[in-house]
Structures are given as structure tokens and as C-alpha cells.
Amino acid sequence: MPFVKRPFHVEKPTKAFLFIMKQFNFTQGEAQRLIAKGRILIDGESIYYTGQIIEGDIEIVYFEPKSRGVKPIFVDKNFLVFDKPSGVLVHPNTMATEYSMLDEVRTHSGQNANGTHRIDMETSGLFLASRHKNAERFLKGSFEKRTIKKSYLAWVVGELTEPFIVEESISVRKDYTSCKHKVEISKGGKSAKTEFIPLEYDAELDTTLVECKPHTGRLHQIRIHMFHVKHPILGDPIYGTSFEASDNYLDMNITEEERLIETGATRLMLHANTLLFTYGAKYFIKSRVDFREAKVEICPKDRRLFYK
């Protein structure tokens, strides 16, 4: 587990932040942030004052990365790019999260490395991480300014033949009692624009491979826009399936077979495929995954519930 609690013995009276800096090779700011989160415990109780004098036996809770062997596909002195597998979080949700891409990022590049953007857990593909704090600030700022361009691939329900653009505002839902959608199309929401380009159609599975280019960065933007035009992404457990199936998925109370039949695939069939950005030089990075091969994850159309 990445977050561990380990005992330490402080030989002589020392300010808490100085001990952390020396023990973990942290900067002063990093040490102070760890203490402010209550990660130093004395007699089982957290301390929060960074200048507190500590001595004797203490416990420290900290992130200790555990790699599962996912290697970056591109390495620069400032950043890393990974092909994230579907089903992996980009960052721990809680201290109990067993594994996330942060394990790989920090295994490769140390404590100061960090992820710079979000990708849904079930979405696979390109994940950009910084290798130091200056790079983190620059890349997060670039995402906020929309100067980093992303494209995705998705296998969607039905046949699409012509490129199209969806410009429908999106708002975050607050009431999930009748619908498990996290966002919805709403005139009072934030503006959102996505460009869709059909690439190929599989008649046997009745699914189209679509290139998706978001021009804005709203939560679940591609997913809700495809749902809105009645071509939901296959395997989406929230948009395009029943309330009961969504509820069971969120409660982790759905079998693999039920998931396959209810949503049309074993996973969300969405893949982050390209990144285009400037960081000194201009970079265009493409996923090494052939997402066409992901069709094996799709349920035959005559077994999918929304075809009945």
C-alpha cells in the first residue's frame, strides 16, 4: 500500500519539519505540508505545528510508491508520459488506495514528480506527469489555459458516417436520486464543445470508432456529449445504461457478466490518444496502444440490453 505508517526514533530534540527534511530529503515546504496534514503521530495523536519540538518515538504516515511495472513511453527532463491502463486511478482517492499512476510517476522520478491532469479511472491512454515542481506549475497552468490539446478514441453505439460538432453547455448534477449522471446538458451550465470524427464502422458489433477532440475541458464532456446525440460510449456504466445498473456499478455490486451485458463492454471504451503542447520545444505524443484491438472487450450486439 502506497501510504504507510512507520515508526521512527528521534535521538535529540529537533523541530518536526527539520527531522522530516533530513529523513526524507524533502524541501522545507514539502515537510511542512506533510506535518500540516497530521502525518506525524506522537502516542497515536497527530501533531500539526511544523515547528514543534519532537523527541523519542514517533510515527510518520507517508507515500511510499510501489511500482507494478508500467514504464513511461516518453521521458523528458521536465516531464513523463505514460500509457495508463484502464481501471487505474491517476492519483490516490484516499490513504487506503492500493495503487495509482502516482506510484509509477514517483517510482521513476522521485518525490517531487506528480500528475498534471485528470483522466477517469476507466479511461486508458496518455497521462502527462511533471518531474519537478516548476514543471508541475507550468503543465497544470497549460491545461488550465487550454494550450495543451488532447484527442481521444472511443467505440460508440451505432453507426456514424460524418464528422460533427456538439456545442452543448454542461452543468454538474447535485441530485442523484433519479439519475446517476454526474453531469447533464443544461443551458445554464458551462460552455462545452467537442468535435467528433468517425473513423471506421464495425457492422457485426454495430459500433463506430470515433476520434474525439474536446475544445473545452468539462467533467465527463465526451461521455455526456456522445450520450446526448444518442451514441453513448460502449462500456459506460453511468451514461447510456439503466439507473439500476449505474447504481450497482457505483456500489461495486455488479458482476463482470452483468457489466458486459448492461453497458456493452467490460470497460469504458474511451482512450486518450494524443497530446500536443509546447514546453520549450513543440511536442506531439501519440499513444502506443492500438485501440482498434480493444474491440475484443465489446459485448455482441444481440446480447446488449439496450438492443432489446
Q: What are the catalytic residues?
A: 120
For residue 285, what is its C-alpha cell?
505524443
Question: Which ranges of the chain would DSSP assign to H, the alpha helix?
Answer: 16-24, 28-36, 101-109, 133-145, 221-228, 243-250, 256-263
Report DSSP letters for 107-130, one per residue. Answer: HHH-TT-EE-S---TT-EEEEEEE
Distances (CA, A) of 128 to 10, 79, 118, 148: 38, 7, 9, 11
Long-range contacts of 90-96 (CB under 8 A, 24+ apart): 90/115, 90/117, 90/118, 90/119, 90/121, 90/127, 91/115, 92/2, 92/3, 92/63, 95/3, 95/61, 96/1, 96/3
The answer for residues whose C-beta is within 8 angstroms of residue 108's C-beta and 6 or more apart is 71, 72, 75, 80
| Phi/psi at 110 (5° precision) | 90, 180
Rounded Cα distance between 99 and 92, Å, is: 7
The answer for residues whose C-beta is within 8 angstroms of residue 33's C-beta and 6 or more apart is none
For residue 131, what is its C-alpha cell?
518531474
Rounded Cα distance between 48 and 34, Å, is: 9
Question: By C-alpha distance, which of 54, 59, 31, 32 is closest to 43?
Answer: 59
